């Protein structure tokens, strides 16, 4: 990625700490505007008989992967609690990257709260190791992979008069590949239009109008965007799609949705402890999707049990078998105001008067006023486009016939994972495939 810095360093006097309240500005943190999509294709770069991802031990990104996964599931559980019966969709890797990058400019308790809430034990892992891991993660995700398109990037829009710390600028550019632009927030309408245009362009038109009612008090807008598009190794045939297939909602009512289906060799297993079935479908370009179907009345139990250890068990225990799969075509989106959720997860000071972002600038008091996230997901015959130790074992039921049937015709979870970094690119729950 390239970085661009066009800052107009105004002549702002450095204020003593007791005057900072009179020089207050808001930081608008826009995290993870995503556009994922499910697509079609051929041939897996890995042995098709082995659904397990390659070893990550030598990859620095593996240092941050377990913490990112832990944060992903904790955030999911919060969102599920806040939005019962609703579709859920977000990009954990995008949100984690945004917050880790923000921590570069945080100091004292503000920094500690961010990193601990991201799942890092600071007595075991030093801060430089964390940022080195994210540097390799961002670099790996943006490398070219045949058969998929994945692009994640960060950009800072900075108030023209704001004098930034040179060290902060150097580190966000070097470690996170961040682009930096000077912005005139006094003209809030024009600034809003420019930032919305940038996000729309970077997500190829999938995410539109992300900022509404931009405040002229804003001093900095941080945007992290991610775009994913890949082809299935085993595509569905559009000719076989049932145009009106019943899908049972959690409330007991039924909607009719287009349902794709095919019979193929897929990695599959049953988690008896949680009462759910797990299906893995591969993309070209080192990415996989997990579809997790809980038994009737088992969704809450499944959601509460999500963990890095559980995901690791699924990844290692699935077995290839011939199976007939029914998956609905999906076009869903979700938006979140994370400034109401992140404080519940321990990131408190960043959003109040205790905020310490003196690593970004010492001339103004900065406080995060908004942390917004939006994701869009399309699943079709062609593929996808967007955006604890346990003894549980997954088994393949011996009573199944060679061509078993699994139909995702009721609420289910979906995880989209990058194999190389073992990062959850997108995580969601499909409660209603027809609801955007």
Per-residue pLDDT tens digits for 143-192: 877 778 888 888 888 888 888 899 999 999 999 998 888 888 888 899 88
End-to-end CA distance of the chain, in Å?
32
**Alpha-carbon gap, residue 139 to 153, rounded angstroms:** 10
Q: SS3 for the chain, per residue?
A: CCCCEECCCCCCCCCCHHHHHHHEEEEEEEEEEEECEEECCCCCCCCCCCCCCCCCCCCHHHHCHHHHHHHHHHHHHHHHHHCCCCCEEECHHHHHHHHHHHHCCCCHHHHHHHHHHCCCCCCCCCHHHHHHHHHHHHHHHCCCECCEEEEEEEEEEEECCCCCCHHHHHHHHHHHCCEEEEECCCCHHHHHHHHHHHHHHHCCCCCCCCCCCCCCCEEEEEEEEEEEEEEECCCCCHHHCEEEEEEECCCCCEEEEEEEEEEEEEEEEEECCCCEEEEEEEECCCEEEEEEEECCCCHHHHHHHCCHHHHHHHHHHCEEEEEEEEEECEEEEEEEEHHHCHHHHCCCHHHCCCCCCCCCCCCCEEEEEEEEEEEEEEECCCEEECCCCCCCCEECCCCCCCCEEEECCCCEEEEEEECCCCEEEEEEEECCCCCC
Six-digit token string for 409: 């015709």
Whether the CB-CB separation of 235 and 383 falls below 8 Å is answered with yes
Identify the H or E element spanning 107.
none
Would you state the pLDDT for residue 211? 76
Give the pair of three-digit tokens for residue 219: 């001093």
Q: How far apart are CA 268 and CA 264, in angstroms?
A: 11
What does the domain layout of the chain look like in residue ranges? 5-231+332-379, 238-328+387-430
Nearest Cα neighbor of 283 from 145, 92, 414 is 145
DSSP 321: E
Dump pLDDT digits (tens) for 62-81: 889 999 999 999 999 999 99
Question: How far is residue 336 from each of residues 70, 165, 371, 375, measured CA to CA in Å?
Answer: 19, 30, 8, 9
Give the list of residues 6+ apart from residue 279 with CB closer than 8 angstroms, or none.
Answer: 266, 267, 268, 290, 291, 292, 293, 323, 325, 406
Query: In whole angstroms, what is the distance from residue 409 CA to residue 424 CA?
Result: 24
Considering only CA atoms, which of 408, 428, 418 is closest in space to residue 277?
Answer: 408
Print pLDDT tens along the chain (436 aa): 222 222 222 332 332 333 333 344 555 555 555 655 544 333 333 333 334 444 444 577 888 999 999 999 999 999 999 988 899 999 999 999 999 999 999 999 999 999 999 999 999 999 999 999 999 999 998 887 777 888 888 888 888 888 889 999 999 999 999 888 888 888 889 988 998 898 888 887 877 777 777 788 888 888 888 888 888 888 898 899 999 999 999 988 999 999 999 999 999 999 999 999 999 999 988 899 999 999 999 999 999 999 999 999 999 999 999 999 999 998 888 888 888 999 999 999 998 989 999 999 887 788 887 787 888 888 887 665 554 111 222 333 333 454 589 999 999 999 999 999 999 999 999 999 988 6
Q: Give the model's pLDDT for residue 33.
A: 57
In the block, which residue shows the tokens 């942390």?
371
DSSP labels, 166-178? HHHHHHHHHHH--
DSSP string, 337-405: EGGGTGGGGT--GGGSTT---TTT-SSSEEEEEEEEEEEEEEE-SSEEE--------EE--TTS-SSEE
pLDDT value of position 6: 20
- pLDDT at residue 220, rounded to an integer: 82
Closest CA to 321 of 261, 394, 403, 395: 403
Instruction: Please give the class, per CATH, of domain 5-231+332-379.
Output: alpha beta
Q: Hey, how many other C-beta atoms are within 10 angstroms of the C-beta on 237?
A: 11
pLDDT at 153: 83
- What pLDDT does residue 280 have? 96
pLDDT at 215: 80
Q: Which residue bears the tokens 């959601």?
A: 303
Residue 209: its pLDDT value, please? 78
Structure tokens at 282: 């591969």
Rounded-to-integer distance, Cα 158 and Cα 166, Å: 14
Q: Please tell me the pTM assigned to this model.
A: 0.83
Fold adopted by 238-328+387-430: Alpha-1-antitrypsin; domain 1 (2.30.39)
Maximum pairwise Cα distance, the chain? 76
Return d(Cα 93, Cα 31) in angstroms, integer. 10
Predicted pLDDT of residue 290: 96
């Amino acid at each position: 990625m390239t970085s661009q810095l066009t800052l107009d360093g105004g002549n702002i006097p450095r204020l003593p700490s007791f005057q900072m309240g009179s020089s207050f500005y808001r930081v608008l943190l826009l995290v993870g505007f995503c556009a994922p999509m499910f697509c079609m294709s051929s041939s897996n770069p890995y042995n098709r008989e082995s659904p397990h991802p390659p070893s990550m031990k030598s990859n620095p990104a593996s240092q941050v992967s377990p913490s990112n996964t832990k944060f992903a599931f904790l955030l999911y559980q919060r969102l599920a609690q806040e939005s019962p019966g609703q579709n859920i969709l977000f990009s954990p890797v995008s949100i984690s990257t945004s917050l880790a990058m923000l921590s570069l400019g945080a100091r004292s308790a503000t920094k500690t709260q961010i990193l601990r809430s991201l799942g890092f034990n600071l007595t075991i892992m030093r801060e430089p190791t964390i940022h080195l891991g994210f540097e390799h993660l961002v670099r790996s995700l943006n490398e070219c992979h045949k058969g998929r398109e994945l692009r994640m990037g960060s950009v800072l829009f900075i108030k023209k008069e704001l004098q930034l710390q040179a060290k902060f600028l150097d580190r966000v550019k070097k470690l996170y590949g961040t682009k930096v632009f000077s912005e005139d927030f006094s003209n809030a309408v024009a600034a809003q239009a420019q930032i919305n245009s940038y996000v729309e362009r970077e997500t190829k038109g999938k995410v539109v109008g992300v900022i509404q009612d931009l405040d002229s008090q804003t001093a900095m807008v941080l945007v992290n965007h991610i775009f994913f598009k890949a082809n299935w190794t085993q595509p569905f045939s559009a000719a076989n799609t049932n145009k009106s297939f019943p899908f049972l909602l959690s409330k007991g009512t039924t909607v009719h949705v287009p349902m794709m289906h095919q019979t193929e060799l897929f990695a599959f297993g049953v988690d008896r402890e949680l009462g759910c079935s797990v299906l893995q479908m591969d993309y070209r370009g080192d990415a996989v999707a997990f579809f997790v179907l809980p038994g009737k009345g088992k969704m809450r139990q499944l959601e509460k049990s999500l963990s890095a250890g559980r995901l690791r068990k699924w990844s290692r225990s699935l077995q290839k078998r011939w199976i007939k799969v029914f998956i609905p075509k999906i076009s869903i989106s979700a938006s979140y105001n994370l400034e109401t959720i992140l404080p519940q997860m321990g990131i408190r000071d960043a959003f109040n008067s205790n905020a310490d972002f003196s690593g970004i600038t010492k001339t103004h008091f900065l406080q995060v006023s908004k942390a917004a996230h939006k994701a869009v997901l399309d699943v079709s015959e062609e593929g996808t486009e967007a955006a604890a130790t346990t003894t549980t074992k997954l088994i393949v039921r011996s009573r199944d016939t060679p061509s078993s049937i699994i139909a995702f015709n009721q609420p289910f979870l979906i995880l989209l994972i990058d194999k190389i970094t073992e990062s959850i690119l997108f995580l969601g729950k499909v409660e209603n495939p027809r609801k955007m």
